[in-house]
Amino acid sequence: MRLQSLAPIVLVVAAAGCASIQPNAALEKARADVNAASADPDVVARAPMELRDAQDALDSANALWRKKKSPVEVDHQAYLAQARAASAIDLARARRANDELQRAQVDSDRVRLAARTREAEAARAQADAARAQALAQSRAAGEARMQAEAASRDAALAAEQAALERQRASQAQAEATDAKQRLAAMETRIVEIEGKHTERGILVTLGDVLFEFNKAELLPVAQPRLDRLAQFLRQFPEKKLLIEGYTDSVGGDAYNFELSARRAAAVRAALAKRGVDPGRMIAEGYGKQFPIASNATDTGRSMNRRVEVVVSDENGNLRPRA
Protein backbone atom coordinates (compact mmCIF):
# COMPACT_ATOMS: atom_id res chain seq x y z
CA MET A 1 0.00 0.00 0.00
CA ARG A 2 2.90 2.33 0.73
CA LEU A 3 4.33 1.87 -2.77
CA GLN A 4 0.90 2.45 -4.33
CA SER A 5 0.46 5.69 -2.42
CA LEU A 6 3.90 6.90 -3.57
CA ALA A 7 3.14 6.48 -7.28
CA PRO A 8 0.74 9.51 -7.68
CA ILE A 9 3.10 11.70 -5.64
CA VAL A 10 6.04 10.76 -7.88
CA LEU A 11 4.02 11.64 -10.98
CA VAL A 12 2.88 15.01 -9.58
CA VAL A 13 6.39 16.01 -8.50
CA ALA A 14 7.91 14.85 -11.77
CA ALA A 15 5.30 16.71 -13.80
CA ALA A 16 5.65 19.91 -11.77
CA GLY A 17 9.47 19.91 -11.80
CA CYS A 18 9.83 19.15 -15.49
CA ALA A 19 7.09 21.27 -17.03
CA SER A 20 9.62 23.37 -18.91
CA ILE A 21 11.62 20.39 -20.24
CA GLN A 22 10.80 18.69 -23.52
CA PRO A 23 9.14 15.31 -23.03
CA ASN A 24 11.22 12.15 -23.36
CA ALA A 25 9.44 9.15 -24.88
CA ALA A 26 11.54 6.54 -23.10
CA LEU A 27 11.06 8.27 -19.75
CA GLU A 28 7.29 8.58 -20.29
CA LYS A 29 7.16 4.87 -21.10
CA ALA A 30 9.19 4.08 -17.97
CA ARG A 31 6.82 6.15 -15.84
CA ALA A 32 3.82 4.36 -17.28
CA ASP A 33 5.38 0.93 -16.72
CA VAL A 34 6.41 1.68 -13.13
CA ASN A 35 2.98 3.14 -12.35
CA ALA A 36 1.31 0.05 -13.83
CA ALA A 37 3.49 -2.21 -11.66
CA SER A 38 2.74 -0.08 -8.58
CA ALA A 39 -0.99 -0.40 -9.22
CA ASP A 40 -0.83 -4.21 -9.40
CA PRO A 41 -1.70 -5.70 -5.96
CA ASP A 42 0.24 -8.88 -6.77
CA VAL A 43 3.41 -6.88 -7.47
CA VAL A 44 3.00 -4.84 -4.28
CA ALA A 45 2.46 -7.99 -2.20
CA ARG A 46 4.89 -10.42 -3.85
CA ALA A 47 7.68 -8.29 -5.36
CA PRO A 48 8.03 -5.17 -3.17
CA MET A 49 11.84 -5.01 -3.35
CA GLU A 50 11.86 -5.34 -7.14
CA LEU A 51 9.18 -2.63 -7.38
CA ARG A 52 11.30 -0.40 -5.14
CA ASP A 53 14.26 -0.95 -7.49
CA ALA A 54 12.10 0.10 -10.43
CA GLN A 55 11.00 3.25 -8.54
CA ASP A 56 14.64 4.06 -7.73
CA ALA A 57 15.65 3.69 -11.39
CA LEU A 58 12.75 5.95 -12.41
CA ASP A 59 13.77 8.55 -9.81
CA SER A 60 17.32 8.51 -11.23
CA ALA A 61 15.99 8.96 -14.77
CA ASN A 62 13.77 11.85 -13.64
CA ALA A 63 16.71 13.51 -11.90
CA LEU A 64 18.91 13.22 -14.99
CA TRP A 65 16.09 14.55 -17.16
CA ARG A 66 15.49 17.56 -14.92
CA LYS A 67 19.23 18.33 -14.96
CA LYS A 68 19.14 18.14 -18.79
CA LYS A 69 21.72 15.39 -18.83
CA SER A 70 22.60 13.37 -21.94
CA PRO A 71 19.55 11.73 -23.55
CA VAL A 72 21.55 8.49 -23.62
CA GLU A 73 21.94 8.59 -19.83
CA VAL A 74 18.26 9.40 -19.36
CA ASP A 75 17.23 6.63 -21.78
CA HIS A 76 19.52 4.14 -20.06
CA GLN A 77 18.01 4.85 -16.63
CA ALA A 78 14.51 4.85 -18.14
CA TYR A 79 15.22 1.50 -19.76
CA LEU A 80 16.40 0.12 -16.38
CA ALA A 81 13.17 1.36 -14.78
CA GLN A 82 11.11 -0.35 -17.52
CA ALA A 83 13.10 -3.57 -17.24
CA ARG A 84 12.85 -3.66 -13.46
CA ALA A 85 9.11 -2.92 -13.53
CA ALA A 86 8.63 -5.77 -16.03
CA SER A 87 10.82 -8.02 -13.87
CA ALA A 88 8.72 -7.16 -10.78
CA ILE A 89 5.52 -8.06 -12.65
CA ASP A 90 7.04 -11.33 -13.95
CA LEU A 91 8.32 -12.28 -10.50
CA ALA A 92 4.96 -11.53 -8.86
CA ARG A 93 3.18 -13.71 -11.41
CA ALA A 94 5.68 -16.52 -10.98
CA ARG A 95 5.41 -16.39 -7.19
CA ARG A 96 1.61 -16.36 -7.31
CA ALA A 97 1.61 -19.34 -9.69
CA ASN A 98 4.03 -21.19 -7.43
CA ASP A 99 1.87 -20.47 -4.35
CA GLU A 100 -1.20 -21.77 -6.15
CA LEU A 101 0.68 -24.87 -7.27
CA GLN A 102 1.86 -25.54 -3.71
CA ARG A 103 -1.67 -25.20 -2.32
CA ALA A 104 -3.07 -27.52 -4.96
CA GLN A 105 -0.33 -30.10 -4.28
CA VAL A 106 -0.87 -30.02 -0.52
CA ASP A 107 -4.65 -30.34 -0.93
CA SER A 108 -4.23 -33.27 -3.31
CA ASP A 109 -1.83 -35.06 -0.94
CA ARG A 110 -4.17 -34.47 2.00
CA VAL A 111 -7.14 -35.97 0.12
CA ARG A 112 -5.17 -39.05 -0.91
CA LEU A 113 -3.82 -39.57 2.60
CA ALA A 114 -7.29 -39.22 4.14
CA ALA A 115 -8.68 -41.76 1.68
CA ARG A 116 -5.95 -44.28 2.51
CA THR A 117 -6.46 -43.73 6.23
CA ARG A 118 -10.17 -44.38 5.92
CA GLU A 119 -9.47 -47.55 3.96
CA ALA A 120 -7.08 -48.77 6.67
CA GLU A 121 -9.58 -48.01 9.43
CA ALA A 122 -12.35 -49.79 7.53
CA ALA A 123 -10.13 -52.84 7.03
CA ARG A 124 -9.21 -52.94 10.70
CA ALA A 125 -12.91 -52.70 11.66
CA GLN A 126 -13.69 -55.57 9.31
CA ALA A 127 -10.95 -57.68 10.90
CA ASP A 128 -12.31 -56.99 14.37
CA ALA A 129 -15.79 -57.99 13.27
CA ALA A 130 -14.47 -61.21 11.76
CA ARG A 131 -12.65 -62.12 14.94
CA ALA A 132 -15.78 -61.47 17.06
CA GLN A 133 -17.85 -63.61 14.76
CA ALA A 134 -15.30 -66.45 15.03
CA LEU A 135 -15.55 -66.40 18.83
CA ALA A 136 -19.34 -66.39 18.77
CA GLN A 137 -19.74 -69.14 16.20
CA SER A 138 -17.86 -72.15 17.54
CA ARG A 139 -19.23 -74.48 14.84
CA ALA A 140 -17.61 -72.30 12.16
CA ALA A 141 -14.45 -71.48 14.12
CA GLY A 142 -12.07 -72.66 11.43
CA GLU A 143 -13.77 -70.69 8.68
CA ALA A 144 -14.02 -67.61 10.92
CA ARG A 145 -10.32 -67.80 11.70
CA MET A 146 -9.47 -67.87 8.02
CA GLN A 147 -11.73 -64.90 7.41
CA ALA A 148 -10.13 -63.01 10.29
CA GLU A 149 -6.66 -63.79 9.01
CA ALA A 150 -7.61 -62.66 5.53
CA ALA A 151 -9.09 -59.46 6.92
CA SER A 152 -5.94 -58.91 8.98
CA ARG A 153 -3.79 -59.30 5.88
CA ASP A 154 -6.01 -56.76 4.11
CA ALA A 155 -5.68 -54.38 7.04
CA ALA A 156 -1.90 -54.76 7.04
CA LEU A 157 -1.79 -54.18 3.30
CA ALA A 158 -4.00 -51.11 3.62
CA ALA A 159 -1.82 -49.79 6.46
CA GLU A 160 1.29 -50.40 4.37
CA GLN A 161 -0.27 -48.57 1.45
CA ALA A 162 -1.25 -45.68 3.73
CA ALA A 163 2.32 -45.50 5.04
CA LEU A 164 3.63 -45.54 1.47
CA GLU A 165 1.28 -42.70 0.55
CA ARG A 166 2.50 -40.71 3.54
CA GLN A 167 6.07 -41.30 2.46
CA ARG A 168 5.25 -40.21 -1.08
CA ALA A 169 3.47 -37.13 0.22
CA SER A 170 6.51 -36.25 2.34
CA GLN A 171 8.84 -36.78 -0.61
CA ALA A 172 6.60 -34.67 -2.86
CA GLN A 173 6.61 -31.90 -0.26
CA ALA A 174 10.41 -32.03 -0.05
CA GLU A 175 10.70 -31.90 -3.84
CA ALA A 176 8.26 -29.00 -4.00
CA THR A 177 10.27 -27.15 -1.34
CA ASP A 178 13.49 -27.77 -3.26
CA ALA A 179 11.87 -26.57 -6.50
CA LYS A 180 10.56 -23.49 -4.73
CA GLN A 181 14.00 -22.68 -3.33
CA ARG A 182 15.59 -23.16 -6.75
CA LEU A 183 12.94 -20.95 -8.35
CA ALA A 184 13.51 -18.29 -5.69
CA ALA A 185 17.27 -18.43 -6.30
CA MET A 186 16.80 -18.09 -10.05
CA GLU A 187 14.33 -15.21 -9.61
CA THR A 188 16.87 -13.42 -7.41
CA ARG A 189 19.61 -13.95 -10.00
CA ILE A 190 17.34 -12.71 -12.82
CA VAL A 191 16.85 -9.46 -10.95
CA GLU A 192 20.59 -9.17 -10.28
CA ILE A 193 21.47 -9.55 -13.96
CA GLU A 194 18.70 -7.09 -14.94
CA GLY A 195 16.97 -9.71 -17.06
CA LYS A 196 13.31 -10.30 -17.84
CA HIS A 197 11.16 -13.22 -18.94
CA THR A 198 10.20 -13.30 -22.64
CA GLU A 199 8.70 -15.92 -24.95
CA ARG A 200 12.26 -16.70 -26.13
CA GLY A 201 13.59 -17.17 -22.58
CA ILE A 202 15.31 -14.84 -20.10
CA LEU A 203 16.47 -11.71 -21.96
CA VAL A 204 19.40 -9.53 -20.81
CA THR A 205 20.06 -6.39 -22.89
CA LEU A 206 23.52 -4.77 -22.97
CA GLY A 207 23.20 -1.25 -24.31
CA ASP A 208 25.46 0.76 -26.63
CA VAL A 209 26.91 2.68 -23.66
CA LEU A 210 28.89 -0.43 -22.66
CA PHE A 211 31.06 -0.27 -25.81
CA GLU A 212 33.53 2.15 -27.35
CA PHE A 213 31.80 4.34 -29.95
CA ASN A 214 31.54 2.45 -33.25
CA LYS A 215 33.83 -0.26 -31.81
CA ALA A 216 33.47 -3.69 -30.28
CA GLU A 217 35.71 -3.06 -27.24
CA LEU A 218 33.85 -3.31 -23.92
CA LEU A 219 34.21 -0.35 -21.55
CA PRO A 220 35.09 -0.84 -17.86
CA VAL A 221 31.49 0.03 -16.94
CA ALA A 222 30.41 -3.23 -18.61
CA GLN A 223 32.49 -5.43 -16.29
CA PRO A 224 30.10 -5.58 -13.27
CA ARG A 225 27.13 -6.62 -15.44
CA LEU A 226 29.19 -9.29 -17.16
CA ASP A 227 30.41 -10.53 -13.75
CA ARG A 228 26.82 -10.92 -12.51
CA LEU A 229 25.71 -12.63 -15.74
CA ALA A 230 28.64 -15.08 -15.59
CA GLN A 231 27.88 -15.88 -11.94
CA PHE A 232 24.24 -16.62 -12.88
CA LEU A 233 25.33 -18.94 -15.72
CA ARG A 234 27.77 -20.78 -13.46
CA GLN A 235 25.01 -21.38 -10.92
CA PHE A 236 22.71 -22.82 -13.63
CA PRO A 237 25.09 -24.87 -15.83
CA GLU A 238 22.20 -26.39 -17.81
CA LYS A 239 21.38 -22.98 -19.30
CA LYS A 240 22.49 -22.21 -22.86
CA LEU A 241 22.48 -18.80 -24.46
CA LEU A 242 22.34 -16.85 -27.70
CA ILE A 243 24.39 -13.64 -27.86
CA GLU A 244 22.95 -11.35 -30.57
CA GLY A 245 24.42 -8.05 -31.73
CA TYR A 246 22.37 -5.24 -33.34
CA THR A 247 23.07 -1.75 -34.72
CA ASP A 248 21.04 1.26 -35.80
CA SER A 249 20.32 2.05 -39.45
CA VAL A 250 23.20 4.51 -39.92
CA GLY A 251 25.90 3.18 -42.26
CA GLY A 252 26.08 0.37 -44.79
CA ASP A 253 24.66 -3.10 -44.32
CA ALA A 254 28.05 -4.84 -44.46
CA TYR A 255 29.62 -2.49 -41.90
CA ASN A 256 26.71 -2.77 -39.47
CA PHE A 257 26.57 -6.54 -39.79
CA GLU A 258 30.32 -6.83 -39.12
CA LEU A 259 30.17 -4.43 -36.11
CA SER A 260 27.20 -6.25 -34.55
CA ALA A 261 28.92 -9.63 -34.99
CA ARG A 262 32.13 -8.35 -33.38
CA ARG A 263 30.22 -6.93 -30.41
CA ALA A 264 28.38 -10.22 -29.88
CA ALA A 265 31.70 -12.08 -30.10
CA ALA A 266 33.26 -9.68 -27.57
CA VAL A 267 30.53 -10.46 -25.04
CA ARG A 268 30.95 -14.21 -25.67
CA ALA A 269 34.71 -13.93 -25.12
CA ALA A 270 34.21 -11.90 -21.93
CA LEU A 271 31.85 -14.54 -20.49
CA ALA A 272 34.21 -17.38 -21.50
CA LYS A 273 37.02 -15.53 -19.69
CA ARG A 274 34.80 -15.57 -16.59
CA GLY A 275 34.47 -19.36 -16.62
CA VAL A 276 31.38 -19.90 -18.82
CA ASP A 277 31.83 -22.89 -21.17
CA PRO A 278 32.08 -21.52 -24.76
CA GLY A 279 30.16 -24.60 -25.92
CA ARG A 280 27.06 -23.21 -24.20
CA MET A 281 27.17 -19.92 -26.15
CA ILE A 282 26.32 -18.97 -29.74
CA ALA A 283 27.18 -15.43 -30.96
CA GLU A 284 25.42 -13.90 -33.97
CA GLY A 285 25.32 -10.46 -35.59
CA TYR A 286 22.15 -9.09 -37.18
CA GLY A 287 23.26 -5.56 -38.10
CA LYS A 288 20.36 -3.14 -38.48
CA GLN A 289 17.73 -5.92 -38.50
CA PHE A 290 15.08 -6.26 -35.76
CA PRO A 291 15.05 -2.67 -34.38
CA ILE A 292 13.23 -2.17 -31.09
CA ALA A 293 12.74 1.59 -31.59
CA SER A 294 12.50 4.12 -34.41
CA ASN A 295 15.77 4.96 -36.18
CA ALA A 296 14.43 8.43 -36.91
CA THR A 297 15.61 9.80 -33.53
CA ASP A 298 18.85 9.75 -31.57
CA THR A 299 17.06 8.03 -28.69
CA GLY A 300 15.65 5.31 -30.92
CA ARG A 301 19.00 4.70 -32.61
CA SER A 302 20.71 4.45 -29.22
CA MET A 303 18.21 1.78 -28.13
CA ASN A 304 18.75 -0.17 -31.36
CA ARG A 305 22.53 -0.30 -30.81
CA ARG A 306 22.59 -3.21 -28.37
CA VAL A 307 23.68 -6.76 -27.59
CA GLU A 308 20.93 -9.12 -26.38
CA VAL A 309 21.74 -12.26 -24.38
CA VAL A 310 18.92 -14.84 -24.57
CA VAL A 311 19.13 -17.54 -21.86
CA SER A 312 17.45 -20.90 -22.53
CA ASP A 313 14.33 -22.09 -20.72
CA GLU A 314 14.28 -24.69 -17.93
CA ASN A 315 14.58 -27.50 -20.51
CA GLY A 316 17.65 -25.95 -22.16
CA ASN A 317 15.70 -24.92 -25.30
CA LEU A 318 16.67 -21.81 -27.26
CA ARG A 319 14.52 -19.98 -29.82
CA PRO A 320 16.74 -18.22 -32.40
CA ARG A 321 15.58 -15.38 -34.58
CA ALA A 322 13.43 -16.47 -37.53
Can you give the pLDDT at residue 5? 45
Can you give the pLDDT at residue 74? 93
Can you give the pLDDT at residue 292? 92
311 has pLDDT over 80: yes
Q: Which amino acid is at 275?
A: G
Least confident among 78-92, 101-115, 183-197, 243-257: 183-197
Q: Name the region of 169 (left: φ>0; alpha: ψ -120 to 50; beta: rest).
A: alpha
> pLDDT of 83-111, one tens digit each?
999 999 999 999 999 999 999 999 888 99
Least confident among 16-30, 56-70, 117-131: 16-30
> pLDDT of 108-156, one tens digit each?
889 988 888 898 888 888 888 878 786 777 776 677 687 878 888 888 8
Query: From CA 238, how far away is CA 151, in angstroms rounded?
Result: 52
Confidence band for 75, pLDDT divided at 50, 70 and 90: very high
What string of DSSP letters covers 87-136?
HHHHHHHHHHHHHHHHHHHHHHHHHHHHHHHHHHHHHHHHHHHHHHHHHH
Torsion over CA: 93, 97, 98, 103 (sign): positive
Task: For residue 205, give the 3-state DSSP assignment.
Answer: strand
Least confident among 21-35, 43-57, 137-151: 137-151
Can you give the pLDDT at residue 198? 86
Tell me which of 82 and 169 has the higher pLDDT. 82
Indicate the domain borders of the chain.
120-188, 193-322
> If residue 202 lies in a helix (H) or strand (E), which one and from where to where?
strand 201-207
Confidence band for 280, pLDDT divided at 50, 70 and 90: very high
Task: For residue 75, give the 3-state DSSP assignment.
Answer: helix
Closest CA to 243 of 222, 224, 267: 267
Can you give the pLDDT at residue 193? 56
> If residue 246 lies in a helix (H) or strand (E), which one and from where to where?
strand 241-246
- Residue range 252-272: average pLDDT? 95
Count of alpha carbons within 13 angstroms of residue 309, beta-carbon side: 28
Can you give the pLDDT at residue 167? 80
- Residue range 283-310: average pLDDT? 94
What is the CATH architecture of 193-322? Answer: 2-Layer Sandwich (3.30)
- Residue range 199-208: average pLDDT? 87
Tell me which of 150 and 184 has the higher pLDDT. 150
Burial class (CB in 10 A: 0-12, 13-18, 19+), 48: middle
